[in-house]
Amino acid sequence: MSHAADIVVDRLSKAYGAFLAVDRISFEVPKGTIVGFLGPNGAGKTTTIRMLTCYLPPTGGTASVAGYDVFRQSLDVRKKIGYLPESTPLYTEMRVQEYLDFKGKLHGMDRSTRQKRIAEVAARCWITDRLQSVIGTLSKGYRQRVGIADAMLHNPPVLVLDEPTVGLDPSQIREARRLISELAGDHTVLLSTHILQEVEMVCKRVIIIANGKIVAQGTPDELKNRLGSGLIVEVRGPADQVRSAINAIPGITGVDVLQNGPVCRVGVRGKNSAELREQIAALVSLRGWGLREMRTEGASLEEFFVRITDPGSAAA
Amino acid sequence: MTIAKREVTSLFFSPIAYIVMFLFLLYMGLVFAGLVFVPGQLTELRRLVDFSRFGLFFIVPLMTMSLFSDEYRSGRIEMLRTSPITEFDLLLGKFIGAMFFFLILLGLTLIHLTLLMIFGHPDYGQTFSCYLGLALMGMMFVSVGLFYSSCTQNQIVAALGSLLTLGFFTFSGGLSELIPGSTKIFEWIHSAMIYLSVGTHLEDFSKGVLDTSHLSYFLGFSAIFLFMTYLVLESRKWR
Ligand SMILES: Nc1ncnc2c1ncn2[C@@H]1O[C@H](COP(=O)(O)OP(=O)(O)OP(=O)(O)O)[C@@H](O)[C@H]1O
Ligand SMILES: [Mg+2]
């Protein structure tokens, strides 16, 4: 049993027939942290999460949650996990209160605990005024909130949320992210999402998965640094010549022409140091081109994501 | 138990439940009226039991078709499966929920029975054993329905499967007459079909005779189908 990590995944695989949806992935989620699980559509996020929540048996490898093996100690794992499934399946004919009460009973909570917890999670998910509504009449966003409330109901140490902010309106997305951020410390959260800002805002660490394999993991800053930050240079001069001249400076890994014309703009990739910027400036004035603008542009996680998950371009 | 309770409450919210109830009451009402106008037949509880049997053969599949199928189709099975309850809890909950509804349905025919008591003088012991027989039969029917519902996410397929199976159990006694009783093997099939027929086993109950062999028939088949349902639930994990 590991005390440092609440979710331990070791060479976990899942094959649907001949199709390998998840291919020997390994990662850990330390206690009390929020880890983002990022990947394009069909990457295998939901499949991985379903194995962690004991819904699907792995075809290879092992995983444990809160120290319990997902396969052999499935009931213990299910007690420790709060799970928001991707499609938030609910009983549409029930009232929100009834539904949460039902789930509370499934978790073996007694009457007074249920009442207390329902009031708590309803307040945290802003559904207190909808407790008596029939679920089928709720909008998508409200159902999503009921799903989040449901996941938190039994105050589980580990939360697994599959795209929790889908269907919420912008202000609710912000609230939901704040809510999730507040969970850090007491709770371990694995958060699956496509939304990069979400990861940057709430997650300590990011795991990026594509085609069933982990392609990168680290803190958002680490991942951004791996890209290197870019430099945008605007110069009055012929684009080709500017590009090749700058490219010749040692320490530059690539130059892209962003805008052609009498005044051209190029994106410069490489280690962005003050020294490098001075060299570029010197070079430009030496050649008699006019330096119009030079600014640093921090690489976005989005750029990293696109680069790393797109099979067409080489991995960064 | 929680599952059972939810199942019962949700049944009362679903239109299917009311349709089922309405159809059954309508059917029983017609049967009853028919019997009332045939003098001398009224006190024949056996007739009433026979007709209930045919009615339930149609009604139970409608009642049970959605029990698991709907959970699969809606994806709620994922929520149930990831809750800290075992497959056994789930099955038991669904079974108890469906049985409860069935017993309510059966209980509603007490209205007819009351009329019967006013007009005739049926034997109480016999009446009790009739109801016991029907309840046991219901248990077997519900188990069959549960089994088919656990096999598919399509409610119609589930209903058809249970209809066919229950049809066999309901009519095999009659069908057995069609088998030419010339050779040994045919005779064997003949008696097997008579044994499998629900009617064979219900008859003694409706006469007011309690026999453990009949009891074990109903309990046995219920257990078999419930166990098969359990196996299906377990095996679905592996897909
Ligand atoms: N039950 C299944 N049978 C066969 N293939 C499946 C099944 N479920 C998922 N897959 C396949 O496995 C792959 C991974 O699916 P998964 O749902 O895990 O992706 P995801 O990362 O959650 O995608 P999204 O971002 O769209 O939610 C997909 O190619 C999908 O088609
Ligand atoms: Mg998914």
A230-236: strand order across its sheet = A252-259, A263-270, A230-236, A290-297
Given CB atoms, is B13 within the 8 Å cutoff of chain A?
A: yes
Given CB atoms, is B237 within the 8 Å cutoff of chain A?
A: yes
Please indicate, yes or no, whether residues A239 and A209 belong to a single structural domain of this protein.
Answer: no
Please indicate, yes or no, whether residues A53 and A125 belong to a single structural domain of this protein.
Answer: yes
Domain count, chain B: 1
Ranges of chain B whose pLDDT falls below 70 = 1-16, 35-45, 116, 119-122, 179-182, 238-239
Q: Distance, CA B209 to ligand 1 centroid (Å)?
A: 58
Backbone φ, ψ for residue A170 (5° rounding): -50, -40
Q: Is A44 helix (H, G, I), strand (E, B) or coil?
A: coil
What is residue B183's predicted lDDT score, i.e. its pLDDT? Answer: 73
- Please choose, from the candidates A5, A11, A50, A1, the residue with its C-alpha nearest in 3D space to the C-alpha of residue A29: A5
Ligand nearest to the CA of A43: 1
CA atoms within 13 A on the CB side of A8: 13
What is residue B149's predicted lDDT score, i.e. its pLDDT? Answer: 92
Closest C-alpha residue for ligand 1 atom 11:
A21
Ligand nearest to the CA of A195: 1
Residue A171 has pLDDT above 60, yes or no: yes
Query: Is B86–A91 a contact, with Cβ atoms under 8 angstroms apart?
Result: no
The whole-angstrom separation of Cα B63 and Cα B47 is: 24
CB-defined contacts A:B, below 8 A: 55
* Residues of chain A above pLDDT 70, percent: 91
Q: Which of A172-181, A285-294, B133-142, B172-181 has the highest mean pLDDT?
A: B133-142
Lowest mean pLDDT among A5-19, A65-79, A259-273, B61-75: A259-273
The domain in which residue B137 lies consists of 2-237
Q: Distance, CA A224 to ligand 2 centroid (Å)?
A: 24
Return the bridge partners of A65, or none. A7, A68
What is residue A81's predicted lDDT score, i.e. its pLDDT? Answer: 93
Please indicate, yes or no, whether residues A103 and A55 belong to a single structural domain of this protein.
Answer: yes
Is residue A146 within 8 A of residue A99, CB to CB? The reply is: yes
Q: What is the pLDDT of residues A69-102, one digit of tens each?
A: 988 888 999 999 999 998 888 888 888 998 998 8
Residues with CB under 6 Å of ligand 1 are A 16, 19, 21, 39, 41-47, 86, 194
Query: Is A55–B78 a contact, with Cβ atoms under 8 angstroms apart?
Result: yes
What is residue A313's predicted lDDT score, i.e. its pLDDT? Answer: 45
Query: Is A54–B82 a contact, with Cβ atoms under 8 angstroms apart?
Result: yes
Please indicate, yes or no, whether residues A165 and A271 belong to a single structural domain of this protein.
Answer: no
Query: Is B10–A93 a contact, with Cβ atoms under 8 angstroms apart?
Result: yes
Query: Is B82–A57 a contact, with Cβ atoms under 8 angstroms apart?
Result: no
Of residues A209 and B176, more confidently modeled: A209
Please indicate, yes or no, whether residues A154 and A261 belong to a single structural domain of this protein.
Answer: no
What is residue A230's predicted lDDT score, i.e. its pLDDT? Answer: 72
Q: Which of A163-167, A189-193, A213-217, A265-269 has the highest mean pLDDT?
A: A189-193
Please indicate, yes or no, whether residues A192 and A152 belong to a single structural domain of this protein.
Answer: yes
Residue A315 lies in a domain: no
Best B6, B13, B90 member to test A by mutation, with max A CBs in 10 Å, is B6
What is residue A233's predicted lDDT score, i.e. its pLDDT? Answer: 85
Average pLDDT over residues A190-209: 87
The overall longest dimension of chain A from CA atoms, in Å, is 81
The domain in which residue A12 lies consists of 5-219
Residue A191 has pLDDT above 50, yes or no: yes
Residue A189 has pLDDT above 90, yes or no: yes
Residue A150 lies in a domain: yes
CATH code for the domain of A277: 3.30.70.260
Q: What is the pLDDT of residues B156-201, one digit of tens each?
A: 999 999 999 988 888 877 777 776 666 777 777 777 877 788 777 8
Task: Supply the mean pLDDT for chain A.
Answer: 85
Please indicate, yes or no, whether residues A266 and A131 belong to a single structural domain of this protein.
Answer: no
Give B2's contacts in chain A (Cβ within 8 Å): 102, 105-106
The whole-angstrom separation of Cα B149 and Cα B10 is: 17
Of residues A55 and B237, more confidently modeled: A55
Q: Nearest by CB to B84, which of A78, A90, A91?
A: A78
Question: How many CB atoms are located within 10 Å of the residue B105 CB?
Answer: 22
Please indicate, yes or no, whether residues A188 and A257 belong to a single structural domain of this protein.
Answer: no
Min Cα distance A106 → chain B (Å) is 7
Please indicate, yes or no, whether residues A232 and A157 belong to a single structural domain of this protein.
Answer: no
Please indicate, yes or no, whether residues A196 and A262 belong to a single structural domain of this protein.
Answer: no
Place of tokens 């067409």: A312
Domain count, chain A: 2
Residues near B122 by beta carbon (within 8 Å), at least 6 away in sequence: B43, B45, B113, B116
Residues near B73 by beta carbon (within 8 Å), at least 6 away in sequence: B153, B154, B155
The whole-angstrom separation of Cα A215 and Cα A208 is: 6
Q: Distance, CA A22 to ligand 2 centroid (Å)?
A: 12
Lowest mean pLDDT among A148-157, A229-238, B178-187: B178-187
Residue A51 has pLDDT above 90, yes or no: yes
pLDDT-derived band at A301 (thresholds 50, 70, 90) equals: low
Closest C-alpha residue for ligand 1 atom 1:
A16
State the pairing for strand pair A60-65/A5-16. antiparallel
Residue A71 lies in a domain: yes
Interface of B with A in 84-143 (CB under 8 A): 84-86
CATH code for the domain of A199: 3.40.50.300
Give A91's contacts in chain B (Cβ within 8 Å): 6, 10, 76
What is residue A72's predicted lDDT score, i.e. its pLDDT? Answer: 87
Q: Is A16 helix (H, G, I), strand (E, B) or coil?
A: strand
Given CB atoms, is A114 within the 8 Å cutoff of chain B?
A: no
Pocket test for ligand 1, best of A12, A19, A207 (most atoms within 8 A of CB): A19
Please indicate, yes or no, whether residues A49 and A160 belong to a single structural domain of this protein.
Answer: yes
Residue A174 has pLDDT above 60, yes or no: yes
The whole-angstrom separation of Cα A165 and Cα A195 is: 9
Please indicate, yes or no, whether residues A202 and A283 belong to a single structural domain of this protein.
Answer: no
pLDDT-derived band at A153 (thresholds 50, 70, 90) equals: very high
Q: What is the DSSP letter of A299?
A: P
Pocket test for ligand 1, best of A45, A55, A309 (most atoms within 8 A of CB): A45
What is residue B71's predicted lDDT score, i.e. its pLDDT? Answer: 87
pLDDT-derived band at A250 (thresholds 50, 70, 90) equals: confident
State the pairing for strand pair A205-210/A34-38. parallel
The whole-angstrom separation of Cα B153 and Cα B239 is: 14
Q: Is the ipTM of this complex over 0.90?
A: no
Is residue B173 within 8 A of residue B20, CB to CB? The reply is: no
What is residue A315's predicted lDDT score, i.e. its pLDDT? Answer: 38
